[in-house]
Amino acid sequence: MEKFGEQLTGWEEPYGMLTFTSDKNMNLKVLQFLYDDAELGFRFMTDLCAVHYPNEEGKELAVVYHLHNLKENVRIRYKIFTAIEKPDVYTASALFSAANWMERETYDFFGVNFLGHPNLKRILNIDEMDYFPLRKEYPLEDQKRTDKDDEMFGRD
Amino acid sequence: MSEHVTLPEGNVEKHTTTINLGPTHPATHGVFQNIIELDGETVVSAEQTVGYIHRAFEKIAEHRAPYQITPLTDRLNYCSAPLNNFGWHITCERLLGIKTPKRVDYLRIIIMELSRISDHLICNSIVGVDSGAFSGFLYLMQYRELIYEIYEEICGSRLTTNMGRIGGFERNFTNQAFEKLERFMKEWPPALKEFDEMFVRNRIFMDRTIGVGPISAERALNYGFTGPNLRAAGVDYDVRIHTPYSSYEDFDFTIPVGSTGDCYDRFLVRDQEMWQSMEIIKQAYQKVQEFKGAEAEVYHADVPDFYLPDKKDVYTKMEALIYHFKIIMGETALPVGEIYSSIEGANGELGFYLITDGGRAPYRLHFRRPCFIYYQAYSELTKGGLLSDAIITMSSLNLIAGELDA
Amino acid sequence: MARPVQYNITDKPLEKPYSIVQGPEGYMGEGFFASKLSDVVGLARKNSIWPLPFATSCCGIEFMALMASHYDLARFGSERVSFTPRQCDLLMVIGTIAKKMAPVVKQVYLQMAEPRWVLAMGACASSGGIFDTYSVLQGIDQIIPVDVYVPGCPPRPEAVIDGFLRVQELVGSENLRRRNSPKYKELMETYGIQ
């Protein structure tokens, strides 16, 4: 907090977990600080995922990091927002090897481009897929199905 | 190791063989692919491909009411389905601020520890099968059938249980359930002891597994390992102790911790965890027996918004009818908020990151799946070992395909 | 509380203390037994089906319970489950097949030698199951011809044994010339298999 000052915003504490936000270009600096600082010592990355907010202009995709300090048993949530036209975020996989596949999964589902990632390919979907399925504009079902009888299900 | 001449790209005399430990390999593990480069029998590198069973749980969850998500969570780590169900219900309870009564907590603990035993049972016997000892698997599967019978008494289904409701259970445990539980508590320890005697000090098994696939504690933490794999590397991180849920703080149990993180340590940690789970079940059973009178009939918390009211109330009272209708149609609105809660699944910390926006379904639900996170380390674990060691490492990591891909 | 059980509550007495399987029909004489070739070949084939368990997800654990000693599948002749398609007769597709996995299933099916049968175990293999999503193949009959479907999520081991017995019936009563007939070739054409 003392180091970064006003660059960290959005302090909340839903259900006991401290959450804060910052500008997306600072994510590596903040993560490194949280890792190295002797008092804070957040050395365990629990989770990395993304959320799509289609209504916020310029801040549609949020990348959320959950970090955990195992010694003091403190968890923290750190969010960064990025625009959907150019979703570039620096990769955390140099610091936490756990972030490697988690970032690939985030890329696969939302299209967040992690700069500097060693192997940014699709991981869970087929390689030839050309859209990012978990974004809100895409439906759940496969639209190319021909054998569903819509009349019986009440849709027509 | 002899020096190899570095040859130009595309030269015919490539000295590593590429083999494909492909998506279809013997039934036990599930579908994931490893492309392994071998130099003779030694593994030089391994590259993993997952996603062969991607069922888009997170996308489905955005269209489903909370009770409809419970069957989805079943299919994450399907060897221990009640653990995932209760993890989801505990997440919802934390979001809604519900406190479950003690009897519910103790009954939940009994079922959770039974499912932990059944998962570790499969993992250890499959390590045995992969190293050639098939009979241990057959002996232990009998006890898994006993556990299935206990699940059937409580919820009706064997494997994908969809057990429990937000706030407790759907019905009280019958007397037969308790009888079967007592039978399990009597018959299981001798069987586990026999299994131990067959494997733990077995010369062949020790030669196959000691020093195979080791990982140091720092690398394990960096890779995000949790659960028995991390405890085998020496770090005693267990969500049941760090953030106790469902009254685990009332119980007295130890956490087994290994030292080198190799396959033998993982096997032993899982084995000891099964003994510890047995201790917890005995204590919980005793505590449940101590509830007398009206308290002995409590099996759910009072949550009218999410727990179906009694049928006789539905037929007579108006509010019960409305609640019943709203719950069945899934129209109860979840409060706005975001929460991350985790439980100690059989493979590690199973986390649920839930963001709600006041509608009937979550806005975003993300599962923090332990298998997905520690499978990344597989190439580091097998580098420099033999091919058969790579197989044993894979099975001792307890990779469940449902959890890997979600 | 639980409703009382209504079915199967009285023990049915057995007619004889042992049970005999009927042999194929034929003409019995002194020291010889004449029957149809397809019956005899069917009898031999149906009691020694070697399955390939193509297990992907939760149904795979029920399959493991099936192979274990409580519900033993080996007593029906499938003592040796092979994991290579070149040596098996029955492809049991157990569990969800995602679109990423579909070419693999097709490849395994093509590598099997005639005569081959397919059993789809579980709701996901039969029709996509509860996963009506963009990434799950809605039933394996979109890519390979299936002989028996066993529904359930997961199906109880008894249900799978029932499915397996139906496969045995199919195997035992199959015409020896079926695999070369034009009707079969047409069926394969609809799947794009030569």
Question: Does the pLDDT at position B297 exceed 80?
Answer: no
Residues in B touching A98 (Cβ below 8 Å): 222-224, 373, 376
ipTM (interface pTM): 0.85
User: Which tens digit of pLDDT belongs to each residue from A87-105?
Assistant: 888 888 888 888 888 888 8
Highest mean pLDDT among A85-89, B15-19, B369-373: B369-373
Between CA A147 and CA B346 the distance in angstroms is 39
Contact C57 B30 (CB under 8 A): yes
Question: Contact B337/A15, CB-based, under 8 Å?
Answer: yes
CB-CB neighbours of A153 under 10 Å: 8
- All residues of chain C having their beta carbon less than 8 Å from the beta carbon of residue B25 are 83
B317-327 pLDDT tens trace: 888 888 888 88
B59 touches chain C (CB under 8 A): yes
Range in A125-129, B114-118, B194-198 the model is least confident about: A125-129
Contact C57 B26 (CB under 8 A): no
| Contact (CB<8Å) B372/A105 | yes
Nearest-Cα distance to chain B for C49, in Å, is 17
Does residue B295 register a pLDDT over 80? no
What's residue A146's pLDDT? 66
Query: Which fold, C41-191?
Result: Rossmann fold (3.40.50)
At residue A6, does pLDDT exceed 60?
no
Kindly indicate the confidence band of residue B3, based on its pLDDT and cuts at 50, 70 and 90: very low
Locate the chain C residue with the closest alpha carbon to B123: C61
Chain B neighbors of A105, CB-CB under 8 A: 372
Kindly tell me if the per-residue pLDDT of A27 is higher than 90.
no
Nearest to A70 among B237, B338, B353 (CB): B237
pLDDT band at B112 (very low <50, low <70, confident <90, very high): very high
User: Which of A114-118, B205-209, B273-277, B355-359 reaches the highest mean pLDDT?
Assistant: B273-277
Distance in angstroms (rounded) separating the CA atoms of residues B234 and B203: 24
pLDDT at A120 over 70: yes
Domains of chain A plus CATH, in order, are: 5-118 (3.30.460.80)
pLDDT value for A152: 65
Mean pLDDT of A77-81: 85
Nearest to C135 among B30, B54, B145 (CB): B54
* 3-class state of residue C32 by DSSP: strand
- Would you give per-residue pLDDT tens digits along chain C (194 residues)? 456 777 777 777 777 888 777 778 888 889 888 888 888 888 888 888 899 888 888 888 888 888 888 888 888 888 888 888 888 889 999 888 888 888 888 888 988 888 889 999 988 888 888 888 888 888 888 888 999 999 988 898 999 999 999 999 898 888 888 888 888 888 888 888 76
CA dihedral B271, B272, B274, B278 (to 10 degrees): 150
pLDDT at B328 over 50: yes
Give me the pLDDT at residue A154, please. 62
CB contacts of B144 in chain C (<8 Å) are 65, 68
Percent of chain B with pLDDT over 70: 94
pLDDT tens column, B140-163 = 888 888 899 999 888 888 888 888
Query: Which tens digits make up the pLDDT trace of B17-26?
Result: 888 877 777 6
Q: Which residue of C has its CA nearest to A147?
A: C138
pLDDT of A62 reads: 86
For chain B, domains (ranges, CATH) are 57-405 (1.10.645.10)
Rounded Cα–Cα distance for residues C146 and C97 (Å)? 14
Which of C100, C133, C134 to substitute to test the interface with A, most A CBs within 10 Å? C134
Asked if B366 reaches chain A (Cβ–Cβ under 8 Å), the answer is yes
CA-to-CA dists, residue B397 to B39, B79, B136, B212, B341, angstroms: 24, 14, 18, 12, 24
Option in B25, B78, B171 nearest C58 (CB): B78
Q: Which partners does chain A have (≥3 C-beta pairs < 8 Å)? A: B, C
Pick from B353, B369, B404, B405 the residue to mutate for testing the A interface (most A CBs within 10 Å): B353
What is the rounded distance in angstroms from the CA atom of residue B13 to the CA atom of residue A147?
51
Q: Say how many C-beta atoms besides its own lie within 10 A of residue B245's C-beta.
A: 23
Q: With a CB-CB cutoff of 8 Å, which residues 95-134 of chain A face chain C? A: 124-126, 133
Instruction: Enumerate the domain spans of chain C.
Output: 41-191
- Please give, rounded to a whole number of angstroms, the shortest distance from the CA of C135 to a CA of chain A: 7
Query: What per-residue confidence (pLDDT) applies to B1?
Result: 34
| Cβ <8 Å between C135 and A133 | yes
